[in-house]
Amino acid sequence: MLHVCCLIVEVFNTQQTKLYAKMLGKDRNFFLYFLIIKIILMNIGDQMANGLKVTAKLISIHSYPVEEHTVQTDDDYILTVYRIPDSPKLKNVNSSYEKPVVFFQHGILCSSDDWILSESSSLAFMLVDMGYDVWLGNARGNTYSRQHKHKHPDSSDFWNFSWHEIGIYDLAAMLDYALDETKASSVHFVAHSQGTTTFFVLMSTMPWYNEKVRTVHLLAPVAFLKDHSFILSKVGGLFLTTVDFLGYPSFLSMMLGGFELLPASSAQRLFCDYICSENSSLRFLCSSILHFIGGWGTRHLNQTLLPHVCETHPAGASTTQIIHYLQLYSSGDFKQYDYGIDINLKKYNQETPPHYELKNIKTCVDMYYSDNDYMSAVKDVEYLARLLPCARLFRIPYNDWNHYDFLWSVNVKEIINKRIIEKIERYEETHDHIKNT
**Model confidence band, residue 270 (pLDDT cutoffs 50, 70, 90):** confident
Q: What is the CATH number of domain 55-262+311-436?
A: 3.40.50.1820
More confident residue, 258 or 185: 185
Indicate the residue type of 358: L
What pLDDT shows up at residue 245? 37
pLDDT tens string 411-420? 999 999 999 9
Backbone CA torsion sign across 37, 41, 43, 46: positive
User: Looking at the predicted structure, is the pLDDT value of residue 258 above 90?
Assistant: no
User: Looking at the predicted structure, is the pLDDT value of residue 78 above 70?
Assistant: yes
Mean pLDDT of 224-244: 58
**Model confidence band, residue 53 (pLDDT cutoffs 50, 70, 90):** confident
62 is catalytic: no
User: Looking at the predicted structure, is the pLDDT value of residue 45 above 50?
Assistant: no
Mean pLDDT of 309-320: 89
Catalytic, out of 118, 122, 162, 193: 193
145 is catalytic: no
Catalytic, out of 112, 403, 405, 409: 403
pTM: 0.85
What are the domain boundaries of the chain? 55-262+311-436
CA–CA distance, 220 with 232 (Å, rounded to integer): 18
Q: What is the CA radius of gyration of the chain?
A: 22
- Cα–Cα nearest to 269, from 61, 41, 116, 51: 51
pLDDT tens string 141-164? 999 999 999 999 999 899 999 999
CA–CA distance, 217 with 60 (Å, rounded to integer): 26
More confident residue, 324 or 291: 324
User: Looking at the predicted structure, is the pLDDT value of residue 187 above 80?
Assistant: yes
What pLDDT shows up at residue 16? 46
What pLDDT shows up at residue 294? 66
What pLDDT shows up at residue 434? 52
- Cα–Cα nearest to 257, from 19, 3, 6: 19
- Cα–Cα nearest to 203, from 391, 370, 353, 424: 391
User: Looking at the predicted structure, is the pLDDT value of residue 281 above 60?
Assistant: yes
Catalytic, out of 338, 373, 380, 405: 373
Q: Which of 13-22, 88-97, 156-165, 285-294 has the lowest mean pLDDT?
A: 13-22
pLDDT tens string 331-340? 899 999 998 8
111 is catalytic: no
- What residues pair up with 135 in beta bridges, in sequence order? 83, 103
Q: Which of 32-36, 102-106, 167-171 has the lowest mean pLDDT?
A: 32-36
**Model confidence band, residue 23 (pLDDT cutoffs 50, 70, 90):** very low
pLDDT tens string 423-437? 999 999 998 745 554
**Model confidence band, residue 136 (pLDDT cutoffs 50, 70, 90):** very high
**Model confidence band, residue 214 (pLDDT cutoffs 50, 70, 90):** very high
What pLDDT shows up at residue 176? 99
What pLDDT shows up at residue 123? 98
CA 183 vs CA 100, 174, 175: distances in Å: 10, 14, 12
The H-assigned helical ranges of 47-134 are 55-61, 123-129
More confident residue, 297 or 126: 126
